[in-house]
Chain A
Amino acid sequence: MDLFEYQGKDFFARYGVPTSSGSIVRNAADAGDVADSTGYPAVVKAQVQVGGRGKAGGIKLVGSREEAVRAAGEILGMNIKGHVVRKIWIERASDIEREYYASFTLDRGEKKYLLMVSAKGGMEIEEVAASDPGAIVRRHLDPIDGLSVEVARQVVEEAQLDEVAREPAAQVLVKLFDAFIQGDADLVEVNPLILRPDGSIHALDAKVTLDDNAGYRHPEWEAYRADMELDGREALARERGLNYIGLDGTVGIIANGAGLAMATLDVVSQVGGSAANFLDLGGGAGASTMANALEVINTDEKVRSVLVNVFGGITRCDEVAKGMVEALGKVELKFPMVVRLDGTNAAEGRAILREHESERLVVEGTMVGAAKVAVEMAGKEAK
């Protein structure tokens, strides 16, 4: 789960990482009162789950109530890389001496945690990584050892943070590491991590991705989850317990297993079509799961055909076929459907579906064949 900045700051605060306090505003009209209570100069920041909002104009410095209301009006509703801004965060502007960068992630290849620190923080960190990789200090941390303050001190020195910043930065890194570990985050990133004129270190931004698998030990995450913004289809899919990601194409995809679902998207594109979604049914795709999947896809206005790609391993194809027939009895589909069944009991499964075969329900034996039919159908339906 990717947190919004304001949630990330709340998350940081739990682990003692210093951040600015502020408030969330959903209507421009409310921005004046909030900014007044924050004090000026204040910063109005778009809350979107994507990087690069600064460059896109989603962050504005304001010096008065009028400016705050105007900035809020401009930013709310703004589209930043496909993300519509529905919330803004207003906080008191910080005095900035220097901008640094710090992050913790898991380096899969090394099977260790990776701490990265740079004295060249700010908006252009990816360019720094490309043009001046030496300016980013990388330190792998063994999970057993964690991060000691001694190692944190070495890293900030190596990264050539200003001398006055080093000790407080090392202390903040240790707290940030606590947030990363105890908070079960896949990523914590602060850009910029600022040095203030009084010599203190402060997280001016917060990018946090939480590990959904660890949710069972964090009841406090429920508040974050409740505030997530999903489009209608994705919200419905989550409610139904499906692994669904909305895309922009015309062929709806239903597959069992994430790998097979990805392969299905690939094949649809190879035969000249475009997928409307990624949908993994998971193991044991029974009638209710299938009905849920069809219902979610049914709500997508762009879909012109649907491709069901099931490979029976543990899941038996005859059971999938029975489930599908039952699901079709419950859901009235807006589009024609192609079904590819292969694997365990595939012949029996196809036989069950053939009894219901029509122009609107076609049974195919291979993945590529099924994709071709689905793309053809989508083309015809579009006309």
Chain B
Amino acid sequence: MSIFVDENTKVIVQGLTGRQGRFHGLRNRDYGTQVVAGVTPGKGGTDIEGIPIFDTVKEAAAATGANASFISVPPKAASAAVLEAAAAQVPFVVCITEFIPAKDEAMVSALLRRDFPGTRLVGPNCPGIISPGRCNIGITSGDIALAGGPVGIVSRSGTLTYQALYELSQQGVGQTTCVGIGGDPVPGTNFIDCLAAFEADPETKAVLMIGEIGGEEEEKAADFIRSYVSKPVVAYVAGVTAPPGRKMGHAGAIVSGSHGTAKGKMDALRAAGAVVAKNPTEAGELMVDLVAHL
């Protein structure tokens, strides 16, 4: 099994006629993903290498029975694209778009919560999701993933996601699903959503979690791990030595207190029972070791 997607997932690509959308959408299809339709307003009736294009998500979903959408459109159009997919009752949406204003993300998140609770959004600003051998939605290179499990991966960082996949695959340790949740302020899917899904997935035997400085999602994930995750977790948090940045004002410090630093996050995860690595390479090694003893 896998989480969120599998070999039966049928994917619409919103923005398939754009340069990025076309490149990644076709790569996803080449990987074996069922890419059944594209959506670009005004280009309905045309096709991209045999994939039919529709004007709206609603039409595309009705015609093809799609149950997922991959959004690759510019930041100005991304919020409307997510809401269009949700309004068409598409249950699973991956948005890779980078540079979306935070206010737009907050509003989309609030509208999904209120009006479209049946839609799960992954991203924005994320690499997407891959269940090796079954389905790949997004920009992850399928070559670096290995089918067959037993590891589930959830990561806030793009390149570190690839790095984690690659290091495990090189050692012959496969993955059930790898979710890149993205590092934006208001992600649609967070660590806890993925940890809960991995905990419930019988095929996943261990979870590799990759966090970053900022926010308090890792601390919340640590609380969740302590109470609800029975499977072993290996974690890495990037940014122990990260530049402090030009922090202005006190509001951030008042909100997060000691939260938000890499050290605080690692301490919280360790205290919750996770094995904490000091760099991504060590995270891979620790997981390979752990899997060998399962």
Q: Do A and B bind?
A: yes
Chain A residues at the B interface, C-beta cutoff of 8 Å: 2, 49-51, 103-109, 111-114, 116, 125-126, 129, 136, 142-144, 181, 184, 186-187, 189, 191, 207, 209, 211, 213-214, 216-217, 245, 247, 255-260, 262-263, 265-270, 275, 278, 311-314, 342-344, 366-368
Query: What 7 pairs between A and B have smallest CB-CB spacing?
Result: A259-B157, A257-B159, A214-B101, A260-B159, A207-B249, A313-B162, A259-B160
Contacts A50-B247, A214-B101 known; 12 new A-B pairs at CB < 8 A: A103-B251, A106-B185, A111-B106, A144-B114, A189-B250, A209-B248, A213-B99, A259-B158, A260-B159, A262-B239, A263-B236, A314-B139
Candidates A107, A260, A263; contact of B255 at CB < 8 Å? A107
* Chain B, Cβ-Cβ closest to A257: B159
On whether the beta carbons of B103 and A214 are closer than 8 Å, the reply is: yes
On whether the beta carbons of A269 and B241 are closer than 8 Å, the reply is: yes
Contacts of A368 in B (CB 8 A): 279, 281
Contacts of B75 in A (CB 8 A): 213, 216
Candidates A187, A211, A213, A245; contact of B251 at CB < 8 Å? A187
A191, A217, A342: residue with the most chain B Cβ atoms closer than 10 Å = A342
On whether the beta carbons of A313 and B240 are closer than 8 Å, the reply is: no
Q: How far is the CA of A219 from the CA of B152 in the complex (A)?
A: 44
Interface size for B (C-beta < 8 A) is 63
On whether the beta carbons of A50 and B212 are closer than 8 Å, the reply is: no
Contacts of B245 in A (CB 8 A): 245
Q: How far is the CA of A367 from the CA of B283 in the complex (A)?
A: 13
Contacts of A103 in B (CB 8 A): 249-251
Candidates B155, B238, B253; contact of A262 at CB < 8 Å? B238
Contacts of B107 in A (CB 8 A): 143-144
Report the minimal beta-carbon distance from A151 to chain B, rounded to whole angstroms: 16
Q: Is the interface of A mostly helix, strand, loop or mixed?
A: mixed
Candidates A2, A104, A129; contact of B246 at CB < 8 Å? A2
24 CB contacts below 8 A, A to B, read A50-B248, A103-B249, A103-B251, A108-B186, A108-B215, A108-B217, A116-B254, A144-B110, A186-B102, A214-B103, A259-B157, A259-B159, A259-B183, A260-B159, A260-B280, A263-B163, A265-B239, A266-B242, A266-B279, A269-B241, A270-B279, A278-B242, A343-B141, A344-B144
Chain B residues at the A interface, C-beta cutoff of 8 Å: 75-76, 99-103, 106-107, 109-111, 113-114, 127, 139-141, 143-144, 155-163, 166, 183, 185-186, 210, 212-213, 215-217, 220, 236, 238-243, 245-255, 262, 278-281
Report the minimal beta-carbon distance from B164 to chain A, rounded to whole angstroms: 10
Report the minimal beta-carbon distance from A177 to chain B, rounded to whole angstroms: 12
On whether the beta carbons of B280 and A263 are closer than 8 Å, the reply is: yes
Q: How far is the CA of A182 from the CA of B93 in the complex (A)?
A: 28
Contacts of B102 in A (CB 8 A): 106, 184, 186, 211, 213-214
On whether the beta carbons of B241 and A106 are closer than 8 Å, the reply is: no
* Chain B, Cβ-Cβ closest to A310: B159
Known contacts A144-B111, A207-B249: A114-B255 contact under CB 8 Å: yes
* Chain B, Cβ-Cβ closest to A107: B255
* Chain B, Cβ-Cβ closest to A345: B143
Known contacts A116-B254, A144-B107, A313-B139: A49-B241 contact under CB 8 Å: no
Report the minimal beta-carbon distance from A360 to chain B, rounded to whole angstroms: 25
On whether the beta carbons of A211 and B103 are closer than 8 Å, the reply is: yes
Q: How far is the CA of A143 from the CA of B213 in the complex (A)?
A: 25
On whether the beta carbons of B241 and A311 are closer than 8 Å, the reply is: no
Contacts of A107 in B (CB 8 A): 255
On whether the beta carbons of A187 and B103 are closer than 8 Å, the reply is: no
Candidates A2, A51, A125, A263; contact of B160 at CB < 8 Å? A263
On whether the beta carbons of B251 and A266 are closer than 8 Å, the reply is: no
On whether the beta carbons of A50 and B210 are closer than 8 Å, the reply is: no
On whether the beta carbons of B103 and A143 are closer than 8 Å, the reply is: yes
* Chain A, Cβ-Cβ closest to B75: A213
Contacts of B250 in A (CB 8 A): 51, 103, 125-126, 129, 189, 191
On whether the beta carbons of B254 and A125 are closer than 8 Å, the reply is: yes
Known contacts A186-B102, A263-B160: A126-B143 contact under CB 8 Å: no
Contacts of B210 in A (CB 8 A): 259
Report the minimal beta-carbon distance from B24 to chain A, rounded to whole angstroms: 8
Candidates A2, A126, A136, A268; contact of B248 at CB < 8 Å? A2
